[in-house]
Amino acid sequence: MTSPPSGKLIWALLLCMAAGATGASDGEGPEEDTPWTLHPAQIERRRERYGDPLEKASRGIPRFLFEDSDEDGEAERKNDVSWVEGIYLPLRDPSLVPSETCRNDVDAILKVLESPILSAIINSNNRFWNWFLVDSWGKTGDGILDGNLLLWGMPGECTMLYVKESLPLWNVNTSFSGRYCLVHTESLHDEGNDTLMAGPATRVGASMTATSFPSIFQFGTCIPSSCTSEDMMASLNVTMHIGGKKPSYVDCLEDKELDGGDIAYIVVLSVLGALMLGGALADWLIGEKQELREGHLRFLLVFSVSSNLKKIFQINNKQSPSVITCLQGMRVLSMAWILWGHSFGVKMGISKNLIGAHRLTSKVIDQTYVNATYSVDTFFFMSGLLVVYGVMREQQRSGKVNWILFYIHRIIRLVCFILFFFLPMPTSCYYY
């Protein structure tokens, strides 16, 4: 009869399985599923079924920003894509965009978009970057009057692009990858007046239902990697002013080098992670050997994940005069309420019917997440109660309170709170 495998053998098998799974994931990446594998006939069928992305773009953001629709303007846009500059792509003005490479790349894109023959030459070689570039741009959709102001486009379609074209006969020589940018806009105001300027801005989005509500929206665009967010910002400042709007900022998705703060953050987390794993490993190896637990290893064992998890999930029914047990229930209910409220807040941040959100407060259960901010008050109450309770216990135990140490302790706690909640996160922790 075979003996059951030991705990150490099980751990070793789990580690081997994890290493094997990690190695297996290093094979072929998402390149196999990119739209570049589409056949030209498939691209053409999608265009016929869903429409030309460039025509959709011309009916979207440009009119949203500047003017009403008219048949003459539609006819002009079919042969002229100059409206793209300053909206989806940076302008080719050297005073606004100092990078000559950026201006040349924008010029090459416009030549391809403007010329059906040049587009056909590129597409005949199974290169469809011109369609995916335009298709990734954010365009106006349904529900603008109800608050659908987040016209993000398709970041994945943009960031997968790598363009390398050399066509001397057409004076096209460009090489760039796609850089996705999110443009945040707002309406201009008259000086000293909160009302919106007259013009197209008063016909856009939420301002159609309330003129005192500023028209704020976002739209995504795809620009060449040779261009920067500053280039796009300078161009938008010029073009959007015509429509009574301005860009508040342009946020581009790009790889950033680690700075000193990032490195320090990674080092601290790595050290803590190593201590936790080291403590768990030491706890597992020494078992119940008390002489080792009471030696120098005790400083490492306090970080043991296994021991700390057992303590966290341990239920103690013994009454203690130093513990106010009812506060544990208040903590659990308050934390659940906060999570419930934050989940609602995140959902509202990306809602397509933001203006009609008041309809969500018609039921009693809906009031629980609309008024979730009150759950924070319970933590303020518990914090003040425990501080007073601790001071009174110290006064009862020793007959006096060391106020100097008390305030030093409070200052340290407040500093840690400020560092944790108010300092910006390192760039390595960002997700677009």
Residues 215 and 332 in one domain: no
Q: Is the pLDDT confidence value at 380 over 50?
A: yes
Q: What are the b/e assignments for 377-405, b being 16+ CB within 10 Å?
A: ebeeebeeeeeeeeeeeeeeeeeeeeeee
Decide: helix, strand or coil at residue 17. Answer: helix
Q: How many domains does the chain have?
A: 2
16: number of CA atoms within 13 Å, CB side? 6
- The percentage of residues in the chain with a pLDDT greater than 70, rounded to a whole number, is 75
Q: What is the CA radius of gyration of the chain?
A: 30
Looking at per-residue pLDDT, the higher value among 171 and 325 belongs to 171
CB 229, CB 251: distance < 8 Å: yes
Residue written as token pair 């059951």: 4
Q: How far is CA 114 from CA 162, 229, 428, in A?
A: 20, 24, 39
Determine the Cα–Cα distance for residues 364 and 349; give it in Å rounded to an integer: 22
Residue 180 contacts residue 253 (beta carbons within 8 Å): yes
Please indicate, yes or no, whether residues 344 and 222 belong to a single structural domain of this protein.
no
Q: What is the pLDDT of residues 206-253, one digit of tens each?
A: 333 333 444 567 889 999 999 999 999 999 988 887 777 788 889 998
pLDDT at residue number 341: 84
Examine the domain organization and report whether 357 and 224 are in the same domain: no
Q: For residue 19, what pLDDT is reported?
A: 54
Q: What is the mean pLDDT of residues 280-295?
A: 77
What stretch of H or E contains 345?
A: helix 326-349
Q: What is the pLDDT of residues 18-51, one digit of tens each?
A: 555 444 444 433 344 444 566 777 777 777 777 7
On the question of pLDDT at 72 being above 80, the answer is no
Which of 199, 222, 252 is at the close of a domain? 252
Q: Hey, what amino acid is at 202?
A: T
Q: What is the band of 313 on the pLDDT scale with cuts at 50, 70, 90?
A: confident
Average pLDDT over residues 251-279: 87
Alpha carbon of residue 372 to chain centroid: 23
Q: What is the mean pLDDT of the segment spanning 264-280?
A: 89
User: How high is the pLDDT of residue 169?
Assistant: 86
Check whether residue 346 and residue 239 sit in a common domain: no
Q: Are residues 200 and 331 in the same domain?
A: no
Asked whether residue 104 carries a pLDDT value surpassing 90, the answer given is yes
Contact between 139 and 61 (Cβ < 8 Å) = yes
Instruction: Please tell me the distance from the alpha carbon of residue 259 to that of residue 57, in angstroms, as a whole number.
Output: 38
**Residue range 382-399: average pLDDT?**
85
Q: Kindly state the average pLDDT of the residues 424-429.
A: 41
Q: Is the pLDDT of residue 254 over 60?
A: yes
Q: Indicate if the pLDDT at residue 402 is higher than 60.
A: yes
Are 248 and 324 in a shared domain? no
Assess contact for 148 and 206: CB atoms under 8 A: no
User: What pLDDT, on the 0 to 100 scale, is given for residue 31?
Assistant: 40
Shortest CA distance to 250 belongs to which of 225, 228, 265? 228
Query: 196 with 342, same domain?
Result: no
CA distance 302 to 22: 30
How confident is residue 420, by pLDDT bands cut at 50, 70 and 90?
low
Let me know: does 128 contact 35? Beta carbons within 8 Å: yes
* Position 210, amino acid: A
Both 235 and 337 in one domain: the answer is: no
- Whether residue 417 is contained in a domain is answered as no
In sequence order, the β-bridge partners of residue 220 are 182
- Same domain membership, residue 219 and residue 79: yes
Strands 150-151 and 217-224: parallel
Average pLDDT over residues 340-362: 75
Of 155, 142, 121, whose CA–CA distance to 223 is shortest?
155
Domain range spanning residue 217? 36-252
Output the average pLDDT for the chain.
Answer: 76
**Among 54-68, 333-347, 392-406, the least confident range:** 54-68
Q: How far apart are CA 408 and CA 423, in angstroms?
A: 22
Q: Is the pLDDT of residue 74 over 90?
A: no
**What's at 330, amino acid-wise?**
M
Q: Tell me the pTM.
A: 0.66
* Single residue among 217, 233, 252 that ends a domain in this structure: 252
pLDDT surpasses 90 at 181: yes
Is 299 inside any structural domain?
no
Q: Is residue 163 part of a domain?
A: yes
**Is residue 173 helix, strand or coil?**
strand
pLDDT at 173 over 80: yes
The residue ranking higher by pLDDT, 268 or 19, is: 268
Give the three-class secondary structure for 166.
strand
For residues 225 and 365, state if they share a domain. Answer: no
Q: What DSSP string describes 104-133?
A: HHHHHHHHHHH-HHHHHHHHHTT--HHHHH
The answer to whether residue 407 sits within a structural domain is: no
Cα–Cα distance between 62 and 134 in angstroms, integer? Answer: 14
Assess whether 129 and 218 both reside in one domain.
yes
Residue 257: inside a domain, yes or no? Answer: no
**pLDDT > 90 in the chain, percent:** 19
Return the top range by mean pLDDT from 123-137, 188-202, 392-406, 415-429: 123-137
Confidence band of 148 (pLDDT split at 50, 70, 90)? confident
State residue 328 phi and psi, 5-degree precision: -65, -40
Backbone phi, psi, residue 246, to 5°:
-150, 150
Question: Quick check: 338 and 372 in contact, CB under 8 A?
Answer: yes
Q: Is residue 206 domain-resident?
A: yes
Q: Which secondary structure element, helix H or strand E, spans residue 263, and what is its range?
A: helix 260-286
- Assess if residue 371 is contained within a domain: yes
pLDDT of residue 33: 43
pLDDT of residue 405: 86
| Burial grade of 350 (CB within 10 A; 0-12, 13-18, 19 or more) | exposed
Q: What is the predicted pLDDT for the residue at 25?
A: 42
Whether residue 244 is found in the same domain as residue 323: no
**pLDDT category of residue 102 using cuts at 50, 70 and 90:** very high
Task: Judge whether 298 lies within some domain.
Answer: no
